[in-house]
Copies of this chain bind each other. A is one copy, B any other.
Amino acid sequence: MTNAKFANDAEIIEFVLSNTALFTETKTLRVEEIGDGNINFVYRVTNDQQSVIVKQALPYIRIIGEGWPLSLDRIRIEAQCLKEEGLWAADYVPDVYCFDQARSAFIMEDIGDHENLRHALIARRVLPELGRHLGEFLAETLFHTSDFYLDNEQKKAAVADYINPDLCKITEELFFWDPFCDHERNSVSPPLKEAAETLWQDDSLKVEAAKLKYHFMNDAQALLHADLHSGSVFVKADGTKVIDPEFAFYGPMSFDIGSIIGNLLINFAGQLGLEGEAEEKQAYREYLLATIDTLWATFHTRFKALVSEQCKDPVFATVGFVDAFIAHTWHESMGYAGTELIRRTVGLAHVADLDSIEDIHVRAVSEKFALDLGSALIKQRQDIKSPQILRALVQAI
């Protein structure tokens, strides 16, 4: 039964019972398949009082089948990354109770009382703690897995342990290649075709996108979530959980920071065309920019404090170096936010913040804004010295 899909609900329940002792009542346990993802199988096991989630990977992509094989090592990486993040940011990730290599499955805390952040943003939910939570999650997980905290040997072993070529390849192609040329995998709405073609001719943009790709592939700074879009974040009024780190690997910190900022900016772009009162939309756009401000201010403050309290390397603990490092990380984050905006607009994988605008001409206004902003973020990232300058840029476009 090794590496085989669970045959039935009884097998899933047996797997949970033999690997955890959480349930006080086991007779009424039942299984719901809840996975709405494209790649893995996800089940809730519940007795209506208590519940856990079981996530299982198969050696191919769920919605395609055996025709698209994918390394099973991703589920080890996901479970291990969640546990590592849990050491440093326990409030912001689900508990992992057990990982079973033979079944390519793990059991984790059910966060079913949270809502997908993308849906919350589209519904214009105001979450006052979101920016602070994301900033803390990023500062804690990135600091503690980097050379600012780990010793030389631990860090290098961790880089090797998280090598994840299959999943990195998806990002290398879908972020940094397809959207910058007329690739068959792209999906471009007809009214946007002209803008996309202009973008595909922009040589200076392509050079800057190539630099971001090269950094993504080479700069093994910290253990990244590496798929930190709004769909990987779950929220409730006073809580935030970051899930699904199966793309995790050692890469540049700015990729995680830029990915999530890019997703807030995509929603900002979408607000142009989504239904609603102008005033309400304007207020929400202000909320999104304020959330980016808070996210960055929290990251900045917390990361500096962690270095000052816990960094054992006297070279990296130098205040001047930390300041330069954080400033550089902000610039590069702007670039990765730009690639996220562009790939979600003309690439393969679109998002509901834009695609749920039904009229393609109304949608094209939001899409054009996303392309222009993405392009400006990539090309001008060295000049965007603060969230205030980002705000001015957003308003100018």
Contacts and interface: CB of A to CB of B under 8 A. Distances in A.
9 nearest interchain CB pairs?
A210-B321, A207-B320, A160-B160, A153-B165, A156-B165, A156-B163, A210-B315, A152-B169, A207-B321
A222 to B, nearest CB: 9
Contacts of A221: 218
Contact of A324 (B172, B177, B207, B315): B207
A203 interface: yes
A75 B62 CA distance: 44
A213 interface: yes
Given A159-B163, A218-B147, A207 B318 contact: yes
Interface in A62-90: none
A297 interface: no
Interface size range of chain A in the complex = 35 or more
Interface string A163-188: 11100110010001100110000000
22 contacts: A147-B214, A147-B217, A152-B165, A152-B168, A153-B169, A159-B159, A159-B160, A159-B220, A177-B314, A177-B315, A203-B320, A204-B320, A206-B318, A206-B321, A207-B321, A210-B315, A210-B316, A210-B321, A211-B324, A213-B316, A218-B219, A218-B221
A210 B152 contact: no
Interface string A136-160: 0000000000010000110111011
A209 interface: yes
Contacts of A211: 321, 324-325
Nearest to A177: B315
Contacts of A207: 318, 320-321, 324
B152 A214 contact: no
Contacts of A324: 207, 211
Nearest to A251: B218
Nearest to A176: B315
Given A165-B153, A218-B147, A218-B221, A213 B315 contact: yes
Contact of A218 (B164, B181, B220): B220
A167 to B, nearest CB: 11
Given A152-B169, A159-B159, A211-B321, 5 more contacts: A153-B165, A176-B315, A180-B315, A206-B320, A218-B219
A218 B250 CA distance: 9
Given A204-B320, A207-B318, A315-B210, A156 B168 contact: yes
